[in-house]
Each structure stands twice: as C-alpha cells, then as structure tokens.
Structure 1
C-alpha cells in the first residue's frame, strides 16, 4: 500500500505460481481513475473495509489527487519505471475508525497443508504516523472486515516491522501453512489502535497512518 499511514502497495502470493491476479493493479476496468477512492477501476480488486485509493499514471482527473508520482498523499514513484499503478490504504486512525483493507479472489483455492509464500512492497505516505501490523487475512467467502470499533484482531500473516521510509519501497516476505481451502485474501491492518504500534514521523503530516 502511499497508504496513511497511508501506505502504497504491490504484492505477490504464491506456492509455485502467483495466485493473485493483477498484483500490480495495472489492469483497469472502465478507464483510468479521475479521483481518489476508485479501487473499482482496477480489475478483480474490491474493498473489504473503507475506501482504498487507486493511483495510476494515466490519472485523468483534476489536480493530482490520484496521480503518480505526485498525489494527495505525497510523492512516490512506482516500483519500476515501466510500472504504472499502486494502491493506498489507511492502516491507523486514533479512534479505531476508517482503517482500510482491500481484497481479491485467488486464482485457485489454497490446499490444506501446503506452504504458501507472500511478499508485499510498501511505502509510507506523507502522513503523521507510521505503524506495524500490515498483513493478510484469508477467507473462504467474500470477506467483509469491520474496522469500526471491532476489527478481528487477527491475521494469518502479520509483519511487526514499523515502516517509516517514504522514499523507497520496502519489501516484506512471509509464509503461511494453509489450514483450510481459502479462496480470498485481504490486505491491511486487522488490529485495533490499542494493539498497533505507532511512531510519529511527521508532525505536520496527514492525521493517521
């Protein structure tokens, strides 16, 4: 996920092949974004909580709201010069509201007892705080995650590292031994504010992380 903490996201999840369709968010539906909060314009992805922001070099709206590299949440180039998109999510808010998660249906169900590998690249937006707890949550049905006072406080993959770098993309790697035939994956912070480590990195930045 830059996602606030917006952070900016791009990732891979695989056993032998990548099970995440459109992992770079570059395949679009219905044209380019012309404002923030338009995840529905990137193919296969959907919000599981809140309103994920979708940024693309083909942005066609006013100002630079969802443009790349300059946008509403700071300045961040794509991972590679030939890439053209990323997403941004909110991972912390002081009052346990408005955190954002996004999800997708995997190209194949997980096999119980099989180890899967997960990698994600994130960069901190121009926000007040940086946080930990970025992770993944699997489900057998289309997920709906509440972040209004009662997040699940659980994820199948969780990273404890607090990401503070606003210039570079940070790569995180994990693995997961499947305990069910999950069909969906959601990405974000699934823990409430009291269980999330925060570090103030910019006193003048956008509230949240």
Structure 2
C-alpha cells in the first residue's frame, strides 16, 4: 500500500454549516422589502417570497414594531408573548375561528428557490407555537403542507373552501397523536414528501374543514373568553432533498479520499461532525477549518477526529 500525506485547508461559508440546501426562500421571514414594514398582513410586498394564497391576512410579527405598533411586536403582541425561534421576525395564522364561520383558516404561502425534482424525497419541517392568549388548541394532524406547480410571475391565488381538492392532497406533518399546546416555546413539525416534479410554491396551515377540526378548550385564557380561537406562530421553515445531508460513502478498496459537501451540527446524532472520509488510507493528515474572515476555527492531525461545528465551545 502506498501511503500519502495530505493537508486539508478548508474555508467554510455559513451555508455549509446548515447541512443542507434549504429550498424555502426567506425561511424565517427576516428578509423584508423595507427595514420595518408597518403593515401587519403577510404578502410579497412586505415579507419577501411570502404571501397569502387567498384574501385572508396572516400576520407578520417584528421586533422592530416594539414602541411603534406593539400589537405586531416581538416578543409581546396582540395575541401573546413569544420570542422568535430564530432572528427577530415570525408569522402568525388563525387555525380555528368561531367569529368567521365556514372555511376561514389562514395560510402562509412560500416560494421555492428551485422546482422540486420528480420522485425525489424532500424533508419538510417548521416550528410552531400556540399563542398564549388564544383559548383553543387544535390537533396536530390538521396542520399540513400543499405544494403547487405554478410558473406565473406573481404568487398564485387560490380559493380556499371545503370542496377544494387540495384537502386530500395535502401532506400531514404528524399522525393523530397530540395537540399543539406549547404556550411558551416552539415545537418542530416534520414530514417527508415525494415530489411529482415542478412544484414551485407551497402552502402551510390547517387544511381541515371547520366542522371536522378536533380541538379542546384551554383553561385560564387571558383574552377572548367567549370566542373559539386557535392562533399559532410559525417560524424557521425548511425544505430540502433528504439525501442532500448524507455524506458520500467511505471508499472501501481505493486510496481516494472524500469530503462531505455538507453537515448538520445540531446534536441529533446524524451527520453532526465534518471529517475526512477514507482517512485510514493515508499515513498522516492535517485538517484546518477557517471562517470567512480567515480565522482558524479548527485544527486536527488525528485521522479519526472531525469538526463538530463549534469554535471555543460556541456554535
């Protein structure tokens, strides 16, 4: 066996550390058309790449509204108190509302950076939190996502009603196992989707017709005691090809080395460490990682040691 000595010097850009290519544009609603839009309803002119698929108005909550329009502030706002899961902005939707009989749940509609590939499996997730001043919880099985193949220049508009076929086409995030009742933090919902091919937009919300929604009353509600209302905050949407996070296989009968194109240092036990694959085929190795400013954030000369994404104990 011929042994070689390799020196790896890597420059890590921020995208690599996320571990996958998120196709959801503006996934945490942070990018806005102005520094602090004053309107409350989500639409493309306010939160970039986000809109409402119908005439209803999901809300955009922003930390910059504090002291100006506190009803839409962060953390305190008209329906509760919540810090963003990430950044300073998040969305809010009504998922059950007795004051608006009929099919009147609110939805957020996002845009993909690339059309989905036919038969590819996509991992979908987002974070949800129950607004502590709304007085009802809904079952998690009602929350879903619907993908749309739309090639127009402006976000699609659809009429949401009980007979719309997407009620059967939506993908549920979880089975009928629990209620969305986290009043103080965020809960992650996950699912997978086999693409039909060409999907360019997606809609998230409660797709169940009003008369089929499973819900229950929350005790000691702060406001609106006589109104059936379930309101939820949304943040940090993620859509990516599931196999994009998998490292290349370790070579078995070759002296070639492989480097993962991405990793996800989130302590979930999967792809948490960036390391050289096939390092056993070389006599010695040095791995150095630099951030965008040229500062060395990691070094090792141990073949079995990799980088966990931290620098001086901090992520």
> Where on the TM-score scale, by shorter chain, does this alignment land: which range?
0.7 to 0.9
- Structure 2 residue runs of 5 or longer lacking an equivalent are 1-18, 231-315
Contact 1:38 1:53 in 2 (8 A): yes
Q: Does 1:146 align with 2:159?
A: yes
Q: Which residue number corresponds to residue 43 of structure 1? A: 48
Indicate how the Cα distance of structure 1 residues 63 and 21 shifts in structure 2: closer, same or farther if over 3 A, else same.
closer
Cα displacement (A) at 1:150: 4.3
Cα displacement (A) at 1:97: 4.0
SS at match of 2:61: strand
CA-based RMSD = 2.2
Partner residue of 2:128 out of 103, 118, 122: 122
Cα displacement (A) at 1:149: 5.0
Contact 2:65 2:73 in 1 (8 A): yes
Cα displacement (A) at 1:28: 0.8
SS at match of 1:103: strand
Indicate how the Cα distance of structure 1 residues 111 and 36 shifts in structure 2: closer, same or farther if over 3 A, else same.
same
After the TM superposition, which of the residue ranges 30-39 and 98-107 deviates more from structure 2?
Answer: 30-39
SS at match of 1:89: strand
Q: Using the alignment, how far apart are the partners of 2:104 and 2:81 within structure 1? A: 22
Structure 1 segment 163-178 matched on structure 2, within 5 A: 163-178=180-195
SS at match of 2:71: coil
After the TM superposition, which of the residue ranges 114-123 and 22-31 deviates more from structure 2?
Answer: 22-31
- Structure 1 residue runs of 5 or longer lacking an equivalent are 1-14
Larger radius of gyration: 2
Q: Deviations over 1:24-77 (max 9, x none)?
A: 100111331335324441111111131010011111674511100000111011
Q: Using the alignment, how far apart are the partners of 2:199 and 2:39 within structure 1? A: 33
The total of aligned residue pairs comes to: 193
Q: Which residue number corresponds to residue 66 of structure 1? A: 72
Q: Does 1:107 align with 2:113?
A: yes
Partner residue of 1:156 out of 152, 170, 188: 170
Cα displacement (A) at 1:146: 3.0
After the TM superposition, which of the residue ranges 59-68 and 191-200 deviates more from structure 2?
Answer: 59-68
Contact 2:97 2:105 in 1 (8 A): yes
Contact 1:56 1:68 in 2 (8 A): yes
Q: Which residue number corresponds to residue 6 of structure 1? A: none
Richer in helix (by share): 2
Q: Which residue number corresponds to residue 9 of structure 1? A: none
Q: Does 1:191 align with 2:208?
A: yes
Question: What is the TM-score normalised by the length of structure 1?
Answer: 0.82
Q: Does 1:134 align with 2:134?
A: no
